[in-house]
Amino acid sequence: MNDTPEVAVLRYGHRPGRDDRMTTHVGLTARALGADRVIFPDNAGQSQETVEDITERFGGPFEVELTGQLDATIREWEGSVVHLTMYGERVQDVTGDVRETHREEALLIVVGGEKVPFEVYEEADWNVGVTNQPHSEVAGLAVFLDRLFEGSELERAWKDADQRVIPQERGKRVVDG
Amino acid sequence: MNDTPEVAVLRYGHRPGRDDRMTTHVGLTARALGADRVIFPDNAGQSQETVEDITERFGGPFEVELTGQLDATIREWEGSVVHLTMYGERVQDVTGDVRETHREEALLIVVGGEKVPFEVYEEADWNVGVTNQPHSEVAGLAVFLDRLFEGSELERAWKDADQRVIPQERGKRVVDG
């Protein structure tokens, strides 16, 4: 976002059909809350299409990629890696360190879908729990991004949008561009 | 949560099958991030079971209810009502006012599923957009609760839990109670 090093979100695992909406929501949340890019498993082409369609209509920049190499993407990432998991360290304890590191280098945020292998816990620089309670990978990602960017993502300007929503006390207002 | 007036989350609309996971995630996110209760439409019994099962295992207090009267629940709510919508006022502009009001009275947070009728926009004291971008009702709820409670929800203690996750740098640690 803006002139800071890249933030990419990696959706680890996807079951076509069953996970379509969750994977799409991971992508849309990544885009709306300040990430630069989302990487989906290569069987999540339908979610890719949806997120690209939203980006075309509501603006970018935001990239959506597919990969057949989830593990290699993590292992070879040039920068630091956060893995969001309910078993990890408390978000309120470690986000400051992550933010500090992100001033200097790109950040990959891994969001689990299906069972995440132990190697991911080992490869990650931080395993982070947005609470140590079971809830939602989408909710965890959202809170983590909002805290990482300290709310500045809410002020983001969008380029090349076909339409724009104007905040309203009541009802809906959408304008061109 | 704690000694403050109640916060309840109302899931507005549910399509069995298609929405099961999203509705469940709304409920689990409400529980994990400091709400006291979630109200589902009466066709979401499966999501109710899942959220109650998690509460039994990981602790409470947290209530899950079904209603056939979504509109009446909003209309007759004794307290104030927030409706989360991408068309609403900016979360960063209005959450302070909501927090102030919640010191005195119960708060109902309406989270849309299927198309939300215009009456809901009118009944709500605040229509609030967690960004004015399309993303995820689960993500919007999560960020809103974290901001409403200013992070204090992350320190919540759980009662009557069968198991508890201990935050770890690597791996998983779960203990009894």
Q: Given pLDDT bands bounded at 50, 70 and 90, which one contains residue B3?
A: confident
Contact A25 B139 (CB under 8 A): yes
Q: Is the Cβ pair A135, B25 closer than 8 Å?
A: yes
d(CA B148, CA B82): 11
Mutation for testing the A interface, residue in B130, B143, B150, B153 having most A CBs under 10 Å: B143
Look at strands B163-165 and B174-176 and give their pairing: antiparallel
The tokens describing B2, both together, are: 């704690």
B2 band by pLDDT with thresholds 50, 70 and 90: low
Query: Which residues of chain A are within 8 Å of residue B58 when distances are taken between CB atoms?
Result: 133-134
Interface test with A, best of B154, B155, B158, B173 (most A CBs within 10 A): B154
Q: By mean pLDDT, which of A1-10, A59-68, B15-24, B149-158 is the weakest? A: A1-10
Chain B residue numbers touching A168 (CB-CB < 8 A): 87-89, 127
Write the pLDDT tens digit of every residue in B99-108. 999 999 999 9
**A39-61 pLDDT per residue, tens:** 999 999 999 999 999 999 999 99
Instruction: Indicate yes or no: CB of B143 within 8 angstroms of CB of A33.
Output: yes
The alpha carbon of residue A150 and the mean position of all alpha carbons in its chain are separated, in whole angstroms, by: 15
Class of domain A7-176: alpha beta
Task: Quote the Cα angle for B75-B81-B87, to 5°.
Answer: 105
Domain residue limits, chain B: 7-176
Helix, strand, or coil (residue B36): coil
Give residue-wise pLDDT tens across range B40-97.
999 999 999 999 999 999 999 999 999 999 999 999 999 999 999 999 999 999 999 9
- In chain B, pLDDT over 70 holds for what percent of residues? 99
Chain B partners within 8 Å of A91 (Cβ): 154
SS3 B71: helix
Query: Do the Cβ atoms of B173 and A86 come within 8 Å?
Result: no
How far is it, in rounded angstroms, from Cα B115 to Cα A104?
Answer: 43
Q: Is the pLDDT of residue A63 over 70?
A: yes
Task: Give the separation between CA A10 and CA A141, rounded to whole angstroms.
Answer: 11
Burial of B154 (0-12, 13-18, 19+ CB in 10 A): buried
Average pLDDT over chain B, rounded to an integer: 96
DSSP string, chain A: -TTSPPEEEEEE---TTTTHHHHHHHHHHHHHTT-SEEEEETT-HHHHHHHHHHHHHH-B--EEEEES-HHHHHHT-SSEEEEEEEEEEEHHHHHHHHHHHHTTS-EEEEEE-SPPPHHHHHH-SEEEESSSS---HHHHHHHHHHHHTTTGGGG---BS-SEEEPP-SSS--EEE-
Contact A82, A107 (CB under 8 A): yes
Q: What is the DSSP string of B101-162?
A: HHTTS-EEEEEE-SPPPHHHHHH-SEEEESSSS---HHHHHHHHHHHHTTTGGGG---BS-S
Token readout for A28 is 């849309």
Determine whether the interchain pair A142/B132 forms a contact, defined as Cβ–Cβ distance below 8 Å.
no
Q: Please report how the helices A45-58 and A20-32 are oriented relative to each other, as an axis angle in degrees rounded to 10.
A: 30
CB contact under 8 A, A32 and B167: no
* Neighboring chain B residues of A171 at a CB cutoff of 8 Å: 87, 118, 121
Q: Look at residues B78, B79, B124, B114 and name the one whose alpha carbon lies nearest to residue A170.
A: B124
CB A140 within 8 A of CB B59: no
Confidence of residue A2 (pLDDT cuts 50, 70, 90): low
SS3 B33: coil
